[in-house]
A and B are shown apart, each in its own frame.
Chain A
Amino acid sequence: MALRTTAAARSSVSGALPGADERRLPRTLHPLAWWMWALALATAVSRTNNPLLLLLVLAVLGYVIGMRRTEAPWARGFKYYLYLALTVVAIRVVFRAVFASGITPHDHFLFSLPHIPTPDWYAGIRLGGPVSLEALLSAAVDGLRLACMLCCVGAANTLANPKRALRVLPGALYELGVAVTVSISVAPQLVQSVQRVHRARRLRAGRTKGLRALRGIVVPVLEDALERSLRLAAAMDSRGYGRAGRATKASRRLTGGLLLAGMCGLCTGAYGLLDAGTPGFLGLPALAAGAALCVAGLRLGGRRVTRTAYRPDPWRFEEWTVAGCGVVSAVLLFADVGYDAAALNPTLHPLSWPTLPLVPTAAILLAGAAGFLAPPPLPATGATPAPAPRESARRSRKATAK
């Protein structure tokens, strides 16, 4: 449903701006730019509790996705993030209703759930009881904020090809990227394998359910997977995966040492920041030193990797503008300049209609500018079925239905 409306939005917008997109060369934006934009927007969202601003963020996400989404399979997943977001809101509201926190005389009473007495040692939690409008509203707004942040991540996954995003990993982490890519492509094969063996079980009149059937299914599937992965490893080896490059033993040791020290620094720093009782130098300074060591280790490790990338994504003006839109909107929401900070988190006691503060609204709308600042995406090629056959398929289905 959501997809169809965004498609309609796209056509109407391109109708409103004749030739604006036609004059620009379609290309894919650098995945890092989309991720920076989306994460910055998520950071901005974390700052506010204003339902109007949150809904505005959702609208902006919808607009940008509608404008710049491709036809690839991974780009059709945004609706699942929306379902997930709705679930989050629903769960929060239901939990708040069930684990009632009591009601004050000023609150608006909505309904009452049967109270379930809990044992004394469990006194901290109350089940059931009266439920107020304020409690439910605050739960809904909290859930909405979480949902918005989820949708930001979902938007990044929809706009940027996840595979290409993995390729931006630093050279030292290349193996990690390969492992993820291979497992993504192997997972469907494993599913097929399970289905095939499960079907074959019936041929021997074996059980297809229960624990005893598990062995008959798991053993052939795992043996199959093991043989397959051995063949894959041989193929990757023969195609030059893991060539030595220029690394010496000393540099490899140095890389390892740097990374280890860096990780220790990061852990100490995080602990220092979170625990107020530790001395000050264990906080931010340790964190910074750890991060610096890690970066140095990754850079050094990356130098030993002799590898090139096929058709690397360039980082051009559009990448700067898209990432910049997101960052500026996050900065504006954290800066507390030109508006009352209380407008970001409208109070529910007493209940009042939230207002739309000017500067934050402008900041979020600015993030939406990515929708036309980014270059138009590449049109669908032979990879995905063009609209025409899908259209005809739908028509034929209708015809048979008649």
Chain B
Amino acid sequence: MITFDHVTVQYDDTDEPVIGDVDLTVEEGELCLVVGHTGVGKSTLLGAVNGLVPHFTGGTLYGTVTVDGRDTAGHPPRELADVVGVVGQDPLDGFVTDTVEEELAYAMEQLAVPPDVMRKRVEETLDLLGLAELRHRALHELSGGQQQRVAIGSVLTAHPRVLVLDEPTSALDPTAAEEVLAAITRLVHDLGVTVLLAEHRLERVVQYADRVLHLPGDGRVVSGPPADVFRTAGVAPPVVELGRDAEWTPLPLSVRDARRAAAPLRTRLAGLAVPAARPSPAAGDRPRLLDARGVSVRHRGQLLPAVREADVELRGGETTALMGRNGSGKSSLLWALQGSGPRTGGTVRVVPWGAGGAGGSGAAGDPAGARDPGAVSATEARRLVGLVPQTPTDLLYLESVRQELDQADAESALADGPSARAILDRIAPGIDDATHPRDLSEGQKLALVLAVQLSAAPGVVLLDEPTRGLDYRAKAQLTRILDELTAEGRAVVVSTHDVEFVARTADRVVVMAEGEIVADGPAAEVIVSSPVFAPQVAKVLAPLPYLTVEQVTAALADAAGGGGR
């Protein structure tokens, strides 16, 4: 269905080709997963399928790409619209009309499909993707999962033979992502559509793939069945890592397969002590930095409060994960704690970090130096609580990294303490002064904004969905950065949907639903017992309370060491 014949793609502003001399074939009806780190050319590979590369993006493509017998050299994307359907990361970006039904019909209108056929196909697609209830709804009113299903439906109505999806679930919460992936697999199984799918959170999709295209980062593309490719691939979901470590053959790709293969491992682990998933900080040395009581947030013009009487206590040296559906009030709570967002009720007291924090303010009661970040000036609030918003680039507006960092130092106006540049070099070394902030990778942008916020030396650091769009490597780096911050005695809060990240990063988990806090406790307790939030390793090894592959290997190493002695 799709053939790449000696394809090399070279952009004008880089010396090395993004992908070099790629030969591959994707058969009809396959679900083909494209994996690799950020920036290795996944989007380029996907864009080449319908001719967006190079017709729309620029650059030069050598070799030939053929889709359903059509050469993309002679067919720009619009002439391939009846063969290839493309769905991007953020569905809202691709919508042209404003209601579900019209959006579904749009591609067909462009292809001059007769009105009666159009009508029939819209009805069929509404049923196929479970959108019938939403047909007259405005697109911006829908939830993220519904929007993404509409985006898939809007290209499906043209009856394409190939569907190209570039990280379709990266902006969605776990439940909405499941919803979208279920729709995609249904299309592959029922309609025989060939699907090319790029995805960061492999744990959700590996089990459905027929073929994996792995981009190791040197311009090559390794193509093969998933069980073969993942034996050596640099990126792999935890269930595959566990299978590799335990040397299971065939390599399990789903929790179900792994669970069946894991029976002997479970008996071996049953008698062993479970090592902690996270290095445990020194007990007793955890001063309370932030104490919020009964915080409520109601946005203007809305009947229901976004946050209802939430009590939050943050201690230094602790990373807290804030989880919950989209729209459950996570962001509103973070903004209210920082003081910049609205707060309709409750109190927030923050102990200044550094001078005040070191002075033994861990004692019970309200420490004398505690202040309310909502009542002081923005400059003061920044020194108490630093917040990295959901779109970190909102904070960046200058032409180079250097200017941003200098501006940050000027804004913080701290006499002592490290400069923003020193902080950035510590958390993400190797970012050039002259680079434009927009040209940085997602992970680097996050590091830059974090450095800007840390230059004010806040004791409490809040991050609103930092893992969005990060690959495994960038997430591991973020975990390391956050561990460093807590080691310095700061309190860190991360709101995220990524359970595997939480298992590695968080000491404590707070779960929100409809603006209320419904669970608050040690990470292991809260997420192991939850069917939605449990990481893969916990699902495979349940009822044993393991969260990460590292824990399993550590436990086995301990046992081996103990047995040898």
Q: What is A's interface to B at a CB cutoff of 8 Å? A: 163, 178, 181-182, 184-185, 188-189, 196-197, 199-206, 215-217, 219-220, 223-224, 228, 231-244, 306-312, 381-383, 393, 396-397
Contact = CB atoms under 8 A, between A and B. Distances in A.
Interface of B: 50, 52, 55-56, 76-82, 84-86, 88, 90, 92-99, 101-102, 105-115, 118-119, 122, 133-138, 140, 154-155, 158, 303, 335, 338, 340-341, 377-379, 381-382, 386-387, 389, 391, 393-397, 408, 411, 438, 452-453, 456
B381 to A, nearest CB: 8
Contacts of B94: 231-232, 235-236, 239
A211 B81 CA distance: 46
A329 to B, nearest CB: 34
The residue in A196, A223, A235 that gathers the most chain B C-beta atoms within 10 A of its C-beta is A235
B107 A239 contact: yes
Contact of B52 (A189, A215, A237, A243): A237
Contact of B155 (A196, A239, A310): A239
Contacts of B137: 382-383
Given A383-B99, A383-B137, A202 B86 contact: no
B341 A178 contact: no
B95 A185 contact: yes
Q: 9 closest pairs, A vs B, by CB?
A: A240-B81, A235-B94, A310-B105, A240-B110, A383-B136, A200-B394, A219-B397, A205-B378, A205-B379
A183 B108 CA distance: 22
B417 to A, nearest CB: 16
A243 B411 contact: no
Nearest to A397: B303
B86 A235 contact: yes
Contacts of B155: 238-239
Contacts of A234: 52, 56, 77, 86, 88
A309 B433 CA distance: 53
Contacts of A228: 93
A220 to B, nearest CB: 5
Given A223-B438, A232-B96, A239-B158, A202 B340 contact: yes
A240 B158 contact: yes
A203 B339 CA distance: 9
Contact of A309 (B56, B109, B122, B396): B109
Contacts of B140: 185, 188
B105 A206 contact: no
Given A205-B379, A234-B52, A308 B96 contact: no
B105 A203 contact: no
A197 B394 contact: yes
Residue of B112, B122, B133 with most chain A CB atoms under a 10 A cut-off: B112
A202 B335 CA distance: 11
A239 B379 contact: no
Given A188-B140, A307-B109, A310-B118, A203 B340 contact: yes
Contacts of A205: 377-379, 381-382, 411, 456
B81 A220 contact: no
A203 B387 contact: yes
A55 B516 CA distance: 55
B88 A308 contact: no
A206 B411 contact: yes
Nearest to A208: B378
A220 B396 contact: yes
Contacts of B56: 233-234, 237
Nearest to B341: A199
A310 B119 contact: yes
B84 A239 contact: no
A79 B528 CA distance: 56
Contacts of B452: 204
Contact of A204 (B82, B97, B382): B382
A200 B88 contact: no
A54 B381 CA distance: 60
A381 B100 CA distance: 13
B78 A243 contact: yes
Contacts of B138: 383
A306 B386 CA distance: 55
B93 A203 contact: no
B420 to A, nearest CB: 11
Given A163-B98, A219-B397, 8 more contacts: A197-B394, A203-B387, A204-B408, A223-B438, A239-B78, A240-B81, A309-B109, A382-B135
Contacts of B115: 308-312
A165 B90 CA distance: 29
A335 B447 CA distance: 76
Given A237-B52, A312-B115, A382-B136, A204 B411 contact: yes
Contacts of A236: 94, 96
For A205, A216, A244, the residue with the greatest tally of chain B CB atoms inside 10 Å of its CB is A205
A203 B338 contact: yes
Contacts of B101: 310
Given A205-B378, A205-B382, A206-B411, A240 B107 contact: yes
Contacts of A397: 303
Contacts of A243: 78-79, 81, 110-111
Contact of B82 (A185, A224, A233, A240): A240
Nearest to B335: A199
A220 B445 CA distance: 13
Nearest to A243: B78
B3 to A, nearest CB: 20
B382 A203 contact: yes
Contacts of B136: 381-383
Given A178-B96, A204-B411, A306 B112 contact: yes
Contacts of A185: 95-98, 140
B145 to A, nearest CB: 17
A68 B534 CA distance: 54
A243 B393 CA distance: 35
B394 A237 contact: no
A184 B102 CA distance: 15
Given A216-B397, A239-B106, A200 B154 contact: no
Contacts of B389: 196, 200, 203
Interface centre among B50, B81, B341 (most CB of A within 10 A): B81
Nearest to B105: A310
B435 to A, nearest CB: 15
Contact of A382 (B76, B133, B397): B133
A181 B97 CA distance: 7
Contacts of B52: 234, 237-238
Contacts of A381: 135-136
A196 B95 contact: no
Nearest to A184: B98
Contact of B394 (A196, A231, A312): A196
B88 A231 contact: yes
A164 to B, nearest CB: 10
Contact of A307 (B55, B110, B119, B134): B110
Contacts of A223: 393, 438
A240 B94 CA distance: 13
Contacts of A197: 394
B395 A235 contact: no
A130 B563 CA distance: 112
A224 B107 CA distance: 26
Contacts of A220: 393-397
B395 A308 contact: no
B60 to A, nearest CB: 18
A239 B338 CA distance: 43
Given A199-B341, A240-B107, A381-B136, A311 B119 contact: yes
B106 A308 contact: no
Contact of A310 (B77, B93, B109, B397): B109
